[in-house]
Chain A
């Protein structure tokens, strides 16, 4: 692996995002929405209105919870509002959070090869002595960096906003709980990598960015399943489960890289731009 070349490609791709307002502007909406409006609004509502209307559904789920990490944490909280706030921030929001690295990296990685094809620069790249593995690695790193930056930013904002708005209720830091550390440090990067590998691979095989982006969007489906599991109380995240998901994703990524290494050919990449 030629690090100089990998970095040169990654740096060029990151700078291209900066130059394209249409790409980075929608990406900034995510941290604002998920990092500020969602936790701020939710906690503010719980403080002022309390558990009313539809929110009562959640209390029913919480009451029926079996013995678990969450059950023990909830039993320590005196009021229903605190229980709902704790559950919503530490559990419900987690899958939504996972959408950030996926969306951020998908936009960039779907564009990676398909965008080069559309702009006629892929031929220029393929005519250089750059090894395909280096080119691919550069594309992956270039998509990882903005995703990592955006996820960290959103998480940081959510921590500050949630604890600030929730302080009158809790009088202490209540978010994040222990689940978040493997989520942030293992699952998020691994999931970004999965999204990027899938997207870059699709991007390498189709001719246009549009097609790549459409196909790559399918990766959101498992996240929706996870969100449903949280809301219904069927599959609740705990530290062990989060770590397990991270490890499974790591294995999936290793497999994807092996497949890509075997399937990606210079000539195939070149001819895919003519189709």
Chain B
């Protein structure tokens, strides 16, 4: 199954350049932050355009969550500059927090209060005027049934969904979601990802996603930022990253072609049995020509270009940067 098939019902990433990077919504440059002697963010630099869904990728402790906290003005940077919607998180934090919704692992709820009571309380803090809004977002994340139960009795997945409901409570322009699908069952995770994509498409919400489940991100994000030890080590869309990091492409063709040697028209080829031939192609641009020749000389039933998925790119990028 190719990446595109998997992403069938989720967001189709817009064409490259369809969002305006002329005035990015989030700008970070030279950002540095230490806790004691432990440097968590180092000279971090990136931009996020309005309406983008950006995946923030990196191992545990690479500074993803700290970055979210810095951008929301709850932590002070040691150095560097940040702009969220043209504002400085340290001086104008409340205005930024009003336009941002955040889900982090550590921001908890009041356990002696029900899910609905919690959301009603936070609705007041976010200045949400609409009285029915807490019920509305609870329904949206499938929490209607549990809304009167005390949060202390919730499962991890239920708390996660409540967290998502709180993050979108005030219809924020920007959503920061740190591991939004952690603790969710496959159906729950699918639903949340579909919801994220819908939110982006319908309301143009800019979304920053951190997740370890790279396969899930692959179907939603327009662009990826790879962070390691608090530094940006790579960024780009899936296509851009594939172009940059693959050594060779693999083309699987269902054909009656009988191979005479281990090359075909100068391309490395190998019979896989069952009428399948695998070609190793150095660059994408050679594919149309190869297929044209092939269809002239043999019968071709199907052809599939096997692209590296996000996970293998992730390890390749980390590998390159470790070396």
Contacts and interface: CB of A to CB of B under 8 A. Distances in A.
Interface size range of chain A in the complex: 20 to 34
B106 A123 contact: yes
Interface residues of B, number: 29
B46 to A, nearest CB: 21
B125 A8 contact: yes
Contacts of B95: 129
A126 B124 contact: no
Contacts of A265: 76
Interface string A169-197: 00000000000000000000000000000
Contacts of A19: 112
Interface of B is mostly: loop
Main secondary structure of the interface of A (DSSP, over half): helix
B267 interface: no
Contacts of B74: 123, 126-127, 266-267, 270
A146 B104 CA distance: 33
A239 interface: no
Given A123-B106, A124-B108, A266 B125 contact: no
Contacts of B104: 123, 127
A124 B94 contact: no
Nearest to A135: B125
B109 A129 contact: no
A119 B95 CA distance: 26
Contacts, number: 72
A4 B128 CA distance: 11
B204 interface: no
Contacts of B72: 127
Given A8-B121, A267-B75, A128 B106 contact: no
A130 B107 contact: no
A127 B102 CA distance: 7
Given A120-B106, A129-B94, A4 B35 contact: no
Interface of A: 4-5, 8-9, 12, 15-16, 19-20, 119-121, 123-131, 265-267, 270-271, 274
A271 B69 CA distance: 11
A20 B113 CA distance: 12
Given A5-B124, A266-B93, A274-B35, A127 B76 contact: no
9 contacts: A12-B110, A12-B113, A119-B110, A119-B111, A121-B110, A123-B108, A124-B122, A129-B126, A129-B127
Nearest to B100: A127
Given A8-B124, A20-B112, A129-B98, 7 more contacts: A8-B125, A12-B110, A120-B107, A124-B109, A127-B102, A128-B122, A267-B76
Contacts of B109: 121, 124
B320 to A, nearest CB: 33
B238 to A, nearest CB: 30
Nearest to A266: B74
Looking at B75, B102, B104, B124, which has the most chain A CB atoms within 10 Å of its CB? B124
A129 to B, nearest CB: 4
B55 interface: no
